[in-house]
Structure 1
Amino acid sequence: MSVSSAIPTAILTGFLGAGKTSLLNSLLKDPMLANACVVINEFGEVGIDHLLVEKSDENIIELANGCLCCTIRGDLINTLTDLLARRDAGSIKAFDRVVIETTGLADPAPVLHALVRDEFLLNRLRLEGVITVVDAVNGWATLDAHPEAIKQVAVADRIVLTKLDLLHGVEGEDKMFAIIGRLRKLNPTARLLATHRGEATAERLFNMGLFDAAKKTPQVQAWLNDEALSKVHRHHHDVSRHDAHIRSFSLRDERAISPEGLEVFFAMLAAHHGENLLRMKGVIKLADEPDKPLAVHAVQHVFHPPLRLASWPDGKAETRLVFIVRDIPKQVIEELFSAFTDQLQGDAMTDKTLSLSRT
């Protein structure tokens, strides 16, 4: 199955009480999601608006607007595989989008892993991004208390800030600017939207990734959004904060890297730093076809199959990678990448890269 025919798939996450259910109910009324399939961890928790429910068949719920809603029973890979088999057999409608909602306590990384480690799903589904919902009233305390909430924000492509309408006066305004500032430090590249102004629409939340990337190279530039990193004013974090260890940075290099060198770079990155590589995405200049960038995306140890783009999104042929990491110095990754773009040979290359990878 080609990239353009794969079904775009988004992950909706956010800590307990952040407002995922309210956002999901609102989105399901949008015509853009009329043929969507929503996969959720436990139906009892989600509480899809009963006015939308038309009928149910075991764990498949058909909504009045045409969407399908399904519970995860056991392994996510098996659930998605079963849904696609039913779609192919015609026993359920032919959905054209998948939205996976995690539980509030979930680390989103395993869900991302499931979408990129199974060969069948890789051919049928195309990960377009992560939407994370954050409660403006309780979000600061949640980020302080729960590492899962930090990771949910760090890996997001879209951050939806809820309950801003509950903040009043000067104190409320201060609280709003504080949480926005913290989210920006955790994840400078994510697009930040608010529900109270009607910003969090389906059109703005979806179509955010590399779906059909060959036809949407301007979208790749927005997806990468490394320019946002250069505009962030870095402050010293209070070391007692959980997010003191998480940072974002970009890597740029005009030199091309060989396909073999890139393969080893990725392998070493995953082997020595995979656990702390929360997210990596970008475009890479390869020596074999420098006029056609390679779009790459990784979460911890798992690397999504790369995509060849027809051209550079802004006409500038250079490697641009955005990293969201925990306790990995920028210099370590820069020097490891340079070890291959410098085209070192033999034992010298091996000794240097092994040394850098373990820094």
Structure 2
Amino acid sequence: MPKPQAPIDPRVPVTLLTGFLGAGKTTLLNAVIKSQSGPKIAVIVNEFGEAGLDHDLIEAVDEEIVLMRSGCLCCSVRGDLSRTMMDLMVRRHRGEIDFDRVVIETTGLADPGPILQTMLMEPDLSRTVRMDGVITVADAATGQDTLTRQFEAVSQVAMADLLVLSKSDLVSVADLRVFEARLEAINPTAQIIHADRGRLDPSVLWNLSGLRANATPEQTLQWLTPRAEPADPFANLSGLSSTKPAAAIAPTAHDTRIGSASIVLDEPIPDAAFDLCLNTLIALRGPDILRVKGIVFLEGIEAPFVFHGVQHVFDPPVPMRDWPGTDRRSRIVVIARDISNPELARSLDLLRARLPEQSTYTQVEEPFA
């Protein structure tokens, strides 16, 4: 019997490109635009003059859109972002322009949260586009200092699906490992790759979200699972360890403002417990929830679903109808601001509650005491 085809999501995927000041966002963006292979991209920037686009890549310009020689488009934000995106989608629908995906480049140390909320809250937008991932470019040479001085940089790391490390060739292997460990402590589920001078395969930037209709079970689990430290093949051989461990940098005040917690549940979750957990998080600390994501098996429902939210706004859950059935554990990850790890862990423990049908929130201990 042939395997059923994965559902196709007709919405245009959107990638948010953010990063530290001077980390190399524009270098990475130019490298992607130069690529002649892969999808046609519409890039949204704040101002053409500030975008730093290579002039030899530009083929034609009108008042609002720059056409690049690779076929990519560059659009300047006029007014608010949602209107700019809707204008792009309308022109695409009319056949005036052609693109397969959108990249939004933020300026400076912008907070990704409001842009993600725009994508989730605008009904017209959410019907035509979907978030495909948040990419944060972090400078390995000066990133430690940036994280210490700028809480916005810590937030960018916390909200990323993919962390692109630039200038890693300018630091020692030991210092690079310390920096990666600091990033992982802030965001344990983000992938980390290196791209010195923008050199990378552009395909690694796409399909980051596990909340897409054609995501495989393996891709969804990768989206939710903390990174594993690669093994040192010489670790047990005296004198042959590849590098000496560098001294870790103590977490700063900005680092400790970010808390994260995850939970894995072997048994299906009662729907009342799931609602209680999310409603408690949103009602009591909604503005501080940077991201929450998970795959959930509910009692009485065969297929799991994947969900994702920013603060009090959530994507519609995506059912995983072709889940293979070998792993039926629920996994949820929360990254938050100004909430300690123990408080987040207590809130997730509400998922273990076995509640009577007419339970009320007053019957459960407050997790944020």
What is the TM-score when the length of structure 1 is the normalising length? 0.87
The residue that corresponds to 2:137 in the other structure is 133
Is contact 2:166-2:197 (8 Å) kept?
no
* Alpha-carbon distance in structure 1 between the residues aligned to 2:308 and 2:211: 12
1:282 aligns with 2:306: no
Amino acid corresponding to residue 320 of structure 2 in structure 1: L
Alpha-carbon deviation of 1:320? Answer: 0.1
The residue that corresponds to 1:253 in the other structure is 265
Count of residue pairs the alignment pairs up: 347
CA offset digits 1:245-290 (Å, max 9, x no partner): 223321112233344543443232112112221111110111241x
Distance 1:22 1:261, change over 3 A: same
Q: How does 1:220-259 map to 2 (within 5 A)?
A: 220-226=220-226, 228=228, 238=250, 240-259=252-271
CA offset digits 1:38-77 (Å, max 9, x no partner): 1112222211111111111112111111011111112111
Bigger shift: 104-113 or 342-351?
A: 342-351
Distance 1:179 1:237, change over 3 A: closer
The residue that corresponds to 1:84 in the other structure is 89
Secondary structure in 2 matching 1:92: coil
Bigger shift: 60-69 or 273-282?
A: 273-282
CA offset digits 1:79-112 (Å, max 9, x no partner): 111110111112222x111111111120111111
Amino acid corresponding to residue 343 of structure 1 in structure 2: R
Alpha-carbon deviation of 1:185? Answer: 1.5
Distance 1:24 1:214, change over 3 A: closer
Choose between structure 1 and 2: higher helix proportion.
1
What is the TM-score when the length of structure 2 is the normalising length? 0.85
Amino acid corresponding to residue 366 of structure 2 in structure 1: L
* Alpha-carbon distance in structure 2 between the residues aligned to 1:86 and 1:202: 26
Secondary structure in 2 matching 1:283: strand
* Alpha-carbon distance in structure 1 between the residues aligned to 2:350 and 2:140: 43
The residue that corresponds to 1:205 in the other structure is 205
Alpha-carbon deviation of 1:313? Answer: 6.3
Q: How does 1:89-128 map to 2 (within 5 A)?
A: 89-93=94-98, 95-128=99-132
1:273 aligns with 2:278: no
Q: CA RMSD in A?
A: 2.6
> Which residues of structure 2 form unaligned runs of 5+?
1-6, 232-246
> Which residues of structure 1 form unaligned runs of 5+?
none
Is contact 1:160-1:200 (8 Å) kept?
no
CA offset digits 1:212-264 (Å, max 9, x no partner): 434522211121124649x9xxx998464310222332111223334454344
The residue that corresponds to 2:16 in the other structure is 11
**Percent of aligned pairs with the same residue?**
38
Alpha-carbon deviation of 1:132? Answer: 0.5
Q: How does 1:286-297 map to 2 (within 5 A)?
A: 286-289=298-301, 291-297=302-308
* Alpha-carbon distance in structure 1 between the residues aligned to 2:363 and 2:18: 40
The residue that corresponds to 1:27 in the other structure is 32
